[in-house]
A and B are shown apart, each in its own frame.
Chain A
Amino acid sequence: EPEVTQTPSHQVTQMGQEVILRCVPISNHLYFYWYRQILGQKVEFLVSFYNNEISEKSEIFDDQFSVERPDGSNFTLKIRSTKLEDSAMYFCASSPQTSSYNEQFFGPGTRLTVL
């Protein structure tokens, strides 16, 4: 069964460093998302991406964040200058279409630790 994959599974970085989290969505899906979950807290929406552009973003997704679909398969989240509070589990998700049936499928997550 097709699934969303994410790399790396765990990333440790120093405060102020740039990180890129990578995702391979399910191949025939059209919508892509990033969510995050700080330890012990709710899963929070960051950004959605459709047709090679951001379709929606939350207030968390400030200028330090960017997303890209560099080729036909990968979807990346870049954090330009990491802060301690960026430590969280980051989930990539994808969904097949924008019409009524829009079930989102999530990857296993990347645990980001900022020291």
Chain B
Amino acid sequence: KQEVTQIPAALSVPEGENLVLNCSFTDSAIYNLQWFRQDPGKGLTSLLLIQSSQREQTSGRLNASLDKSSGRSTLYIAASQPGDSATYLCAVRLTGGGNKLTFGTGTQLKVEL
């Protein structure tokens, strides 16, 4: 059974800092991995989708990397801003496992002025 873990569970950084969020998964037979942002009491906003054949994807100040063999993905946020404060979730889709996503525990990020 696929288990997805995110470390750290919570992170507080000063504005402007570059930061890395980590996601690890136990079954490396993944089809793709998706990073989401969740604001309190709100829905999930898709940030990046990275296919199993890709090593990284970039969107603006965000960069996601994937190392399937070690079961890890990282989300790099450059020049963090207070508006980046949210919970960040990673989710994996298994090869041959239909389209369902298995979600991680999330990292709650706070960017302080």
Residues of A within 8 A of B (CB): 31, 33, 35, 42-45, 48, 55-56, 58, 91, 93, 95, 98, 100-109, 111
Contacts and interface: CB of A to CB of B under 8 A. Distances in A.
B42 interface: yes
9 contacts: A31-B99, A43-B89, A43-B91, A56-B100, A91-B44, A98-B99, A102-B32, A106-B46, A108-B43
A77 to B, nearest CB: 15
A44 B93 contact: no
A43 B44 contact: yes
B104 A42 contact: yes
Contact of B98 (A44, A48, A91, A106): A48
Contacts of A33: 99-100
Contacts of A91: 43-44
A100 B50 CA distance: 11
B28 interface: no
Interface residues of B, number: 24
Nearest to B51: A100
Interface of B: 31-32, 34, 36, 41-46, 49, 51, 89, 91, 93, 98-106
The majority secondary structure among interface residues of chain A is strand
Contact of A109 (B42, B99, B106): B42
Given A42-B104, A43-B89, A108-B42, A103 B49 contact: yes
Contact of B44 (A56, A58, A95, A106): A106
Contacts of A101: 49, 51
Contacts of B31: 100, 102
Contacts of B49: 101, 103
A103 B42 CA distance: 19
Contacts of B101: 35, 43, 45, 104
Contact of B100 (A48, A106, A109): A48
B46 to A, nearest CB: 6
A55 B98 contact: yes
